[in-house]
Structures are given as C-alpha cells and as structure tokens.
C-alpha cells in the first residue's frame, strides 16, 4: 500500500445555513491520481477546495473537521495559508491565465514566493514548468505573447505549468477538462499520467470514463456525502453501494 | 391657435386609428381572406396619414407665415421706397404694437392705420386658411388611406418603415446639433484668426483682451492685437490646475476604488458608494464657494505660516477642490472595472499562494488597467472643462506661472470673463472666446478619443 498524503476526518462544510458536506472521511495516496465523481452539486468541488483552503475566500463558508497533509492539520491556527497553497496547487474548471505574458504567468508563483534568486533561475523554472506541462514546444518562440492568446487546451496546460512552477506536492484539479474539446482533453489526461510520478493529484470530474482512465482510487459523492471510495476498478466493476451502481450505469446524474 | 389645431389633429389621429382598425376587421370578416398585417397596424397606418403630413404642413405654414404677412402689411411702405430694411422691421413692430392698442408715435398715422387694418385682416384670414388647409389635408388623407386598405397592402411594413425614419430623424437631431456647434465655432474662430494671427494666439505669452476694449477701435494695430491674445498663460493655467486636481483625485480615487471593490463588506459598500457618488452631483458652484471661502484662505494661512507668499486666490485651492470633485469619476468607474475582473483570476492568484495585496497589485490592477486609464482620462477632460471653481477660487488674472500658490486662470474662466456684460459680437475680444472654445473642444475631444482607444486596445476579452 502506498503512503497516505492527505487525510480528511469527519469533514462538515456549511455555506451559511446550507450544509454542503456531511461527515466526509477519506484519505488520498501519495503520487497517485484520486478521482472524485458525482452529480452536479454533490459537494466534490467543495471538498477539494477545502484541501487548499480556497473556501476561506468565501465569507459564509464554515469548515468543521480535520484535514491533515503529511500529518499536519491544515486548519490549525498557526498554519500559513499562503504556504499551504504553495504546496497544494490548483487547476480550475475554466482556464484562467492571468492577462500577462506566457512567461509572466508561469513566473508569477516563483516571484511572489521569492523562489528564484536570479533571473536565470526564474527562466529555468519557467522552461522546466512549461516542459513538464507539455506546452514548451508549442510556445517556446512566443513566451512574451499574452497567455490569453493561447487556445483553450493550451491555456489549461499553461495553468498547470503555473501550478507546478512553485514545485508543490499536491495538484488539485477541479474539472480541468470540462471546457475543452476531446483532443485537448486527451492531452491533459496524458499529462496527468506523467505528472503523477512527481505529484499527488486529486481530480474532480464529471466524466466517469475520465475517472476510470486516469485514477487509481475513486470517490463517489452524492448529496454532500461520500457514498463510497475504493480502488477505481472496484468502483466501476463491483461497487458496494446501490447509489454508486445507479450513477455509473447512468440511471441518474 | 396652435394648441387647438394640434389637439384637433391628434383627435383626428386617434379617431382614424379606430377607423382603420375597424375597416381592417370588417374586410377580414366580410371577405374571409387574411390581411397581410394585424388589424391594429392598419389603424396606425391611417393614423399616420392623418397626423404626419398635417403636422408637417402646419410647421411649414408657421415658419413662412410671418414673412408673407410682413410683406403684405408693409407693401405700402415698401412701395414708397424710402425705407431701409432695419427701418421697415422697426415699422412692422410699431404696427403690431398699434394693433394691440399701444400707441407710441404719431407720424405717418394714415399709412399706419391702413397697415393696422391690413394686419388685422390678414391675421384673421391666415388663421382661417391654416385651419382649413391643415384639417382638410388631414381629413382627405384619412379617407384616402382608409380606402387604400386592401388585401395587398402590408401596413406593418409601412408603419415599421415610418418608425425607422422617426428613429433616424431623432438621432439626426443630436448629430446635426454637434455639427452645427462645430461649424459655428469654426466660423467665428476663423474670423478671429483673420484679425489675430493663429501663431500669436497659440504661442503668445500675454493675455489681456481688456486692452482692446479700452482703446478706440481705430487706434488698434496688429501689434496690439497680437500682444493681447497670447493664450499660453491660459493653457498653462488650465494645465496647472488640472494637474493639481489629478494629483488629488487619482490616488484618492484609485485607493477608494480598491477598497470598495476588494475590501469593503457588501454592507459598507451599499451605503458608502452612493455617498461618494453624491460628490459628483453637488453643483460645481457650491464647490466654487467652498473653494473660495474655506480652502483658499486655509491654503493662504498655512502657506504664510510656513513663510511663503500665497495670494488669496490660488491655483492650489482651486485644483484641490476640483480634485475632490472628480474623485467619484475615478473611484466609481475604476471600482466597476476592478469588480468586473473575473473572479476566476482572483482565485487563480490566491491558489498560487498570493496574498490579497499581491493579488490586487499584480493581477487585478493590471487586468483592470485599461478601464482605470480610461477613467483617468475622463476625469482629466472633466477637470479641463470645469469653470465655476476656477472663477471663484483661482482668480481671473492671466499670469504665466508654474507656482501653484499663485493666482491662475483657465481657458473656460476666460471665456466667461470675455462674454459677461455688453459687447459687440464682431470685436476680436468676443471672437477670441470662440477660438478658446474651439481649442478646448479639440483638446477634450482628443482626450476622449485617446481614452476610448486605450480602453479598446488593451481590453482583455473574458468570456
């Protein structure tokens, strides 16, 4: 068994009066892809946004319970949220490159965290990150072009390069392919296969095929509850819960 | 008479709408054939025929009537051939007055009495004639259009076409006004430049149009004119005051915008934003006496306390108050553009571990920059065009100075000074106001144009 990277214990999340997550407990293994599936509004996005405390941005959101990364409670009072997010990168549903050049997009994280001492270090980080995100060959001649001038799939890979530029342990992906066409999607999935050798990846996806293709473990969320989490093959071939069975056979959702 | 007649036309219009509607419905039921449009369109169709030509004719009659009446009434005097045009028009006024029972002069009594009779007669007749023509035309066209309704007539198309023409005419009003203003400015400005060389106006260092007024017109020579109309001090004063205003409003406005869009809770925003926007609604004359009575003495006292010579009217006081006035232009617009930066960019930055300040400075402001620059430029054109505050707080003295503690004057203020009181409209002094106005117009137009271009060029498309 692989070592455990992230552990969530009895996680409850409220948006104001409304409860979005009920007693979610699960773990995620290091350097593996964990997929979270479930119908819209089931709480899977809420869950991964707890892992880098992105929910802090929303005033009315209240998180109870415990999340440990490498055994450290990330909701502990002395946890620096900026440092947490340096270690836990995130890629969003819609590609959101900054309206800056391709180079500056990737250099953003290293700059704010003071990672690169010299300009040459920064350049090296940018090139490495772009290479890891399988984007370098396509943009190497136009690093000063605006990041928003790229195609949707390229933009998403740019966002991945941006996320890995600060060398995180974990990458959270919130439906990273839902705005992309099948070819761009295939490229991102291929990329995930490469990235998991170095990073722990958590991916939220609507596509069950995608979960089956990329992940080693899969969790199924329904109505704010984690219904079932197990090896991906088990979830898709022999789920133990009737609701999972219904969902993966397309009876609802 | 106009009111009654127009009411009658509208009445005919309403009636004919129902007539047209009824006629269309009857046609539909009696022939069992479909008309090309819904029946109320036939109502509008008839109503348009009833109203529009009648109103146009009325407009034409009223614009030309007075000329013909004058010609007719004065025909006896014109026949005498001894009157000039001005005298004739004075005479006509006298006749009109006499007709209303005001007797002023007693010369030419017989002729005038005859003319008065003529005037009364023609007024009566022309009124009757107008009624008959306009209402007759309206009625005839109603009949024509009602009988014109048949299965082939597509009234909807005609009505929509008319509306198109109407919309076009309305937009034309604004366009023609602008064009008219530009041409009248240009015309007067060219007349001014025929007396004062354009280079002297644009590059001359001395502005004292009063001198032209003091001297007799005959004594003027071109050197005098050139020396009196050098507009550089005005340009400099305008620039200085606008610069001070921007120095106040840009930082305050921008920081306000950042606070409002990124830090303020919705509650604070809800009451603070309208209050800031009220600043823009305060009449500038109120700012003016605020500047003159409170800020200017304050500036003077502080300056004197620090051992500086400060005149009681200073560019600094005017610029400062003007800066306060244009804060809402910057804060409100910038607030909107910062707020409209997509939430996904904020999240992207936070997810990289950026703090709020880093997110604002490195992502939000660059993304919102075009809009922010646009708001600056709009504020500048507002500052340049502002008059009242400067009149009251910065003085009227056209002195070429870069010292903000000195009195200064601006283009707009000088236009006011030039056009207050009695003056001849063909003196170079008066015409210089048009030249100043045109300069101002060109500058603000250029600024607005640049602002639009900047916004357009650097706007990122977010979908």
How much is the pLDDT for B463?
Answer: 47
Residue B352, chain A, CB below 8 Å: the answer is yes
For A167, the closest chain B residue by CA position comes to B352
pLDDT-above-90 percentage for chain B? 35
Among B346, B354, B366, the residue with its CB nearest the CB of A112 is: B354
How much is the pLDDT for B308?
Answer: 82
User: Among B264, B346, B353, which would you mutate to test the A interface (most chain A Cβ atoms within 10 Å of its Cβ)?
Assistant: B353
Tell me, yes or no, whether A248 lies in a domain: no
pTM exceeding the 0.90 threshold for the entire prediction? no
User: Which span out of A32-41, B415-424, B446-455 was modeled with the highest average pLDDT?
Assistant: A32-41
User: Which is more confident, A37 or B227?
Assistant: A37
How much is the pLDDT for B105?
Answer: 61
Residue B361, chain A, CB below 8 Å: the answer is no
For residue B249, pLDDT over 90 is answered with yes
Count of CB pairs separated by less than 8 Å, A with B: 68
Residue B359, chain A, CB below 8 Å: the answer is no
How much is the pLDDT for B399?
Answer: 80
Residue A67: Cβ within 10 Å count: 20
For residue B33, pLDDT over 80 is answered with no
User: Among A86, A99, A100, A167, which would you mutate to test the B interface (most chain B Cβ atoms within 10 Å of its Cβ)?
Assistant: A99
Q: Would the CB atoms of A54 and B351 count as touching at under 8 Å? A: yes
- What domains can you pick out in chain B, each with its CATH number? 2-153 (no CATH), 225-458 (1.10.3720.10)
Q: Under 8 Å CB-to-CB from B44, ≥6 apart: which residues?
A: B17, B20, B155, B159
Beta bridge partners of A89: A171
**In Å, how far is A19's CA from the nearest CA of chain B?**
22
CATH number at A180 reads 3.40.50.300
Q: Under 8 Å CB-to-CB from A104, ≥6 apart: which residues?
A: A98, A147
pLDDT in tens, A123-161: 999 999 999 998 999 999 999 999 989 999 999 999 999
pLDDT band per the 50, 70, 90 thresholds, residue B218: low
For B345, the closest chain A residue by CA position comes to A96
Q: Under 8 Å CB-to-CB from A195, ≥6 apart: which residues?
A: A132, A160, A164, A171, A201
Tell me, yes or no, whether A253 lies in a domain: no
For A97, the closest chain B residue by CA position comes to B345
User: Which is more confident, B31 or B208?
Assistant: B208
| Structural domains of chain A, count | 1
Residue A48, chain B, CB below 8 Å: the answer is no
How much is the pLDDT for B361?
Answer: 93
pLDDT band per the 50, 70, 90 thresholds, residue B460: low
ipTM: 0.92
Mean pLDDT estimate for chain B:
85
Tell me, yes or no, whether A183 lies in a domain: yes
For residue A176, pLDDT over 80 is answered with yes
β-pairing, A61-69 with A72-73? Answer: antiparallel
Q: Would the CB atoms of B347 and A94 count as touching at under 8 Å? A: no
Tell me, yes or no, whether A210 lies in a domain: yes
Q: Which two tokens stand for residue A126?
A: 């940018």
Range A227-250 average pLDDT: 91
pLDDT band per the 50, 70, 90 thresholds, residue B364: very high
Tell me, yes or no, whether A247 lies in a domain: no
Choice among A21-25, A110-114, B66-70, B246-250 with the minimum mean pLDDT:
B66-70
pLDDT band per the 50, 70, 90 thresholds, residue B197: confident
pLDDT in tens, A90-125: 999 999 999 899 999 999 999 999 988 899 999 999
Residue B342, chain A, CB below 8 Å: the answer is yes
3-state secondary structure of A142: coil
For B362, the closest chain A residue by CA position comes to A108
For residue A210, what are the domain limits?
Answer: 4-242
Range A233-243 average pLDDT: 92
Tell me, yes or no, whether A212 lies in a domain: yes
């Amino acid at each position: 068994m692989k070592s455990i990277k992230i552990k969530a214990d009895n996680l409850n999340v409220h948006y104001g009066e409304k409860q979005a997550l009920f007693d979610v407990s699960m773990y995620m293994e290091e350097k593996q892809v964990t997929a979270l599936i479930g119908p819209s509004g089931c709480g899977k996005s809420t869950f991964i946004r707890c892992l880098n405390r992105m929910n802090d941005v929303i005033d009315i959101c209240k998180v109870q319970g415990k999340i440990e990364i490498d055994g450290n409670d990330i909701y502990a009072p002395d946890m620096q949220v900026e440092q947490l997010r340096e270690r836990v990168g995130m890629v969003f549903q819609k590609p959101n490159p900054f309206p800056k050049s391709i180079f500056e997009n990737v250099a953003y994280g290293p700059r704010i965290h003071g990672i690169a001492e010299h300009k040459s270090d920064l350049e090296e980080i940018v090139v490495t990150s772009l290479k890891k995100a399988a984007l370098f060959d396509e943009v190497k001649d136009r690093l000063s072009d605006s990041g928003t001038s790229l195609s949707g799939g390229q933009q998403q890979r740019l966002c991945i390069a941006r996320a890995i530029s600060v060398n995180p342990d974990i990458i959270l992906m919130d439906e990273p392919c839902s705005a992309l066409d099948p070819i761009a999607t295939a490229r991102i999935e291929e990329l995930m296969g490469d990235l998991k050798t170095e990073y722990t990846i958590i991916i939220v996806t609507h596509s069950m095929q995608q979960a089956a293709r990329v992940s080693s473990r899969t969790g199924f969320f329904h109505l704010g509850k984690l219904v079932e989490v197990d090896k991906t093959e088990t979830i898709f071939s022999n789920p133990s819960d009737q609701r999972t069975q219904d969902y993966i056979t397309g009876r609802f959702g | 008479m106009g009111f009654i007649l127009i009411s009658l036309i509208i009445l005919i219009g309403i009636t004919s709408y129902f007539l047209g509607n009824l006629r269309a419905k009857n046609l539909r039921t009696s022939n069992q054939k479909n008309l090309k449009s819904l029946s109320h369109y036939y109502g509008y169709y008839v109503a348009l025929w009833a109203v529009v030509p009648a109103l146009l004719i009325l407009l034409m009659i009223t614009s030309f009537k007075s000329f013909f009446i004058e010609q007719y009434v004065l025909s006896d005097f014109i026949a005498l051939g001894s009157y000039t045009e001005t005298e004739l028009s004075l005479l006509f006024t006298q006749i009109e007055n006499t007709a209303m029972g005001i007797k002023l002069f007693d010369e030419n009594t017989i002729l005038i009495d005859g003319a008065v009779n003529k005037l009364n007669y023609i007024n009566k007749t022309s009124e009757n004639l107008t009624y008959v023509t306009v209402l007759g035309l309206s009625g005839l066209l109603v009949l024509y259009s009602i009988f014109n309704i048949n299965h082939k007539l597509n009234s909807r198309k005609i009505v929509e076409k008319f509306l198109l023409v109407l919309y076009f005419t309305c937009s034309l009003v604004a366009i023609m006004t602008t064009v008219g203003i530009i041409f009248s400015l240009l015309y007067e400005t060219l007349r001014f430049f025929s007396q004062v060389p354009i280079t002297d106006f644009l590059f001359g260092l001395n502005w004292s149009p009063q001198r032209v007024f003091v001297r007799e017109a005959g004594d003027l020579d071109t050197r005098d004119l050139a020396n009196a109309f050098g507009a550089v001090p005005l340009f400099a004063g305008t620039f200085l005051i606008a610069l001070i205003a921007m120095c106040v409003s840009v930082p305050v406005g921008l920081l306000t915008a950042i606070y409002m869009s990124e830090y303020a809770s919705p509650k604070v925003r809800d009451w603070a934003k309208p209050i800031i926007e009220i600043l823009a609604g305060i009449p500038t004359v109120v700012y003016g006496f605020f500047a003159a009575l409170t800020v200017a003495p304050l500036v003077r006292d502080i300056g004197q306390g620090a051992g500086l010579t400060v005149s009681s009217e200073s560019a600094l006081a005017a610029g400062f108050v003007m800066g306060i006035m244009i804060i809402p232009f910057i804060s409100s617009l910038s607030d909107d553009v910062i707020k409209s930066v997509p939430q996904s960019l904020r999240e992207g930055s936070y997810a990289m571990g950026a703090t709020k300040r880093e997110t604002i400075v490195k992502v939000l402001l660059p993304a919102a920059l075009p809009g922010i620059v646009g708001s600056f430029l709009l504020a500048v054109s507002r500052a340049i065009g502002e008059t009242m505050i400067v009149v009251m707080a910065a003085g009227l003295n056209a002195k070429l100075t870069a010292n903000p503690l000195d009195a200064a004057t601006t283009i707009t203020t000088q236009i006011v000074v030039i056009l207050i009181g009695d003056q001849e409209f063909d003196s170079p002094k008066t015409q210089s106001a048009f030249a100043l106005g045109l300069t101002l117009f060109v500058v603000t137009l250029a600024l607005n144009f640049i602002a639009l271009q900047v916004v357009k060029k650097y706007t990122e498309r977010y979908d």
